[in-house]
Structure 1
């Protein structure tokens, strides 16, 4: 009996060790994934549900699969090379193409940062707080969080903030959806053959698999100092974050499909959705939707400028990490503050149309996503950069198929727009 106990004793200890390693690794995948459910994303999913019901859920499913693929690749590239995406592009393809990649990312990031603070404004306005109060307050809050916190403190606070997404799950259950119709929408591809539907499809791809998320997860994996031995645990982190992103998006679509679409109510934003939910599903669903919008906005408003700061420092060769402090990494923190201040200031301009800004930035994300994915593919297949972590032939085919489908969607939209 004693011999049996000695044989089985290590198993619980080994499980505890593995669990401790997983907890230590968690962060890049969860934060990069959940941040994609930002106000622009919630707005896009709300429009999907309100205008098309469950018809376009399959687009969300495929986008989530692509999110798993490319966020996993981004984390692996960060671990294998010890560099962020923009720095790798500069080193592998030269300064000109590296500059192009950086400009594309900066354009997408500034537009999306504006969308985050537009979400802050819209969410707080639901509770009677004006944008003149909420936007500067939010900008100050995220700036203090990043400037005054250590890496692990910032990470833990952001992870805690991500818990607000439970509000969307609760709202989805409150409306009592038909889960059979939901399942059919996920697995049966169909879509109206018109430009409006294609804009929503491309926006869904762009908001689920955002360019800044690819840059952020790779740079964050480097900043977190993940090792090759931790990659299996990081894959769990990435898959968990990506699946949760898709599930939250699903519940937003479900909530709006079951209420707004069923009642023939059309909306332009997530804030419209929250307001329209009250007479249809009760004050509880409306409040949950609004709380989720504010939490999503604050999380993304902190993470997106971080992604930009990482990219600028990688391209210029300057130090940039959350533990460095302003004196140790002035360019990193200055870039963070500049993006935050510029986005908040633009949103405060009365004439800026917030709703088109929210959706169109996601279309821009999808357009700019294509060249960045091709850069990632080339780097993933480069044995000098990736070593033993180089993408296999099978993986390369999967990446190319995903990139091809995304490119096809964007090209079709561009053709219809020009025509």
Structure 2
């Protein structure tokens, strides 16, 4: 029997859990949110930050390194506007996912299972698993490259070591969400600090950066990379994950308390996604400054970018790049595995051991490493594949958050719905045009 069939309609509409509904009124005991706010505004805010930081690590994963480096080398600052637009879309999308979890105490996959036909739910699960594997290709290859660049570890053993590190980080999540959040946030800080250092050291052109914020393309190649940048920035698996991270995080007794939690979550999204967006823009601007030359415009591997950083700027810059890549790959790999658990449990109500899921999702990346394929090309291709999964996650997200019987008083405003559908249409249109260009030029 489906969970929705035994859940009171009034509970679904307001997002209150059965526990909330049965709590004795006016018991006098302070609620969880009230206790949190009693600690002071600053401590309460810091305690509430976290879910968006988990999601944001996926927005600076190794796929971003590959697409941003290639985009800057081939087209200079031209695609900087794509990075900015993708990040703004990500902020809206991740907030909607977080809001869904807070308002309904359900994750997006759970609500799809409850409210959509079984055939649709299973199809959604299958495509979400494909997206998870595409994600793992980028994350594993990036972390393996980081180990290879830092310590000279061969690529295949480096990939296996990455799996072990991911298990260790996931072990923190099994002991409670806060340790996992702090570990991932620390790794995000390493990535951000690395590219802040690169930007200050190299000094990209401010004038050219501002020009790069004006929309435009330069042929099919720039469109291919633009779609890859969007695929590397707006990640389907964290659209599903964010709602899981926020549901029931702070038990709320009524809609007024949910509004307070939503205000904290908006701040969480703005800070976390803002840092991720700045890191991405710094990546592309650094690549544009250093590599957009006749000799280096064809740069197409992360190893080459690392080597040229060392030649052009110095060993410290190359070291910062490699450390940031390793931090990005290991943390995003752990988040990807966690998202895979959420997807399977939500869509088909089946849970498997995390070790088995880790082995399944890492297998395509290990196969790429074993075959000796170009890791950076595989990274970019994986990001293009990911971009095709974005509309499939966005459509139910926007639909459900626009329904008053699901969200109650927290239903989307009309403008929010219009903006969200615009994001979905733009991404879908870019993907369709990319397919047309590929067939037209083949």
RMSD of aligned alpha carbons: 2.0
Measured in 1, the distance between the counterparts of 2:125 and 2:250 equals 23
Deviations 1:66-97, CA, capped at 9 Å, x for gaps: 01110000000011121212221222222111
- Could you tell me which residue of structure 1 aligns to residue 186 of structure 2? 160
Q: In the TM superposition, what is the alpha-carbon distance from 1:260 to its structure 2 partner?
A: 0.7
The answer on whether the counterparts of 1:115 and 1:361 sit within 8 Å (CA) in structure 2 is yes
Work out which of the residue numbers 62, 78, 88 in structure 2 matches 1:65. 88
Matched, 1:269 2:301: yes
Work out which of the residue numbers 200, 203, 207 in structure 2 matches 1:173. 200
Deviations 1:35-90, CA, capped at 9 Å, x for gaps: 21111111111111111111111111111110111000000001112121222122
Corresponding residue SS for 2:419: helix
> CA 1:223–1:267 in structure 2 vs 1: closer, same or farther (change >3 Å)?
farther
- Could you tell me which residue of structure 1 aligns to residue 241 of structure 2? 216
Q: In the TM superposition, what is the alpha-carbon distance from 1:271 to its structure 2 partner?
A: 2.8
Corresponding residue SS for 1:36: helix
Q: In the TM superposition, what is the alpha-carbon distance from 1:334 to its structure 2 partner?
A: 4.7
Measured in 2, the distance between the counterparts of 1:332 and 1:234 equals 30
Deviations 1:1-48, CA, capped at 9 Å, x for gaps: xxxxxxxxxxxx989722222111111112211321111111111111
Q: TM-score, normalised by structure 2?
A: 0.84
Compare 347-356 and 166-175 and name the one that shifted more: 347-356
The answer on whether the counterparts of 2:58 and 2:235 sit within 8 Å (CA) in structure 1 is no
Measured in 2, the distance between the counterparts of 1:280 and 1:97 equals 52
The answer on whether the counterparts of 1:39 and 1:296 sit within 8 Å (CA) in structure 2 is yes
The answer on whether the counterparts of 1:377 and 1:396 sit within 8 Å (CA) in structure 2 is yes
The answer on whether the counterparts of 1:105 and 1:212 sit within 8 Å (CA) in structure 2 is yes
In the alignment of these two chains, the number of paired residues is: 394
Work out which of the residue numbers 284, 287, 306 in structure 1 matches 2:338. 306
Q: How do residues 296-335 of structure 1 correspond to structure 2 at under 5 angstroms?
A: 296-318=328-350, 331=352, 333-334=354-355
Matched, 1:392 2:413: yes
Q: How do residues 150-299 of structure 1 correspond to structure 2 at under 5 angstroms?
A: 150-151=175-176, 152-165=178-191, 166-186=193-213, 188-192=214-218, 194-222=219-247, 224-225=249-250, 227=252, 228=258, 229-262=260-293, 264-265=295-296, 266-299=298-331
Task: Note the residue ranges of structure 2 that are not aligned, 5 or more in a row.
Answer: 1-35, 253-257
Measured in 1, the distance between the counterparts of 2:107 and 2:38 equals 32
Q: In the TM superposition, what is the alpha-carbon distance from 1:205 to its structure 2 partner?
A: 0.9
Measured in 1, the distance between the counterparts of 2:68 and 2:290 equals 14
Measured in 1, the distance between the counterparts of 2:251 and 2:309 equals 43
Corresponding residue SS for 2:371: coil
The answer on whether the counterparts of 1:277 and 1:286 sit within 8 Å (CA) in structure 2 is yes
Compare 150-159 and 73-82 and name the one that shifted more: 150-159
Measured in 2, the distance between the counterparts of 1:67 and 1:47 equals 21
Measured in 2, the distance between the counterparts of 1:300 and 1:379 equals 27
Q: TM-score, normalised by structure 1?
A: 0.89
Measured in 2, the distance between the counterparts of 1:261 and 1:176 equals 14
Q: In the TM superposition, what is the alpha-carbon distance from 1:284 to its structure 2 partner?
A: 1.8
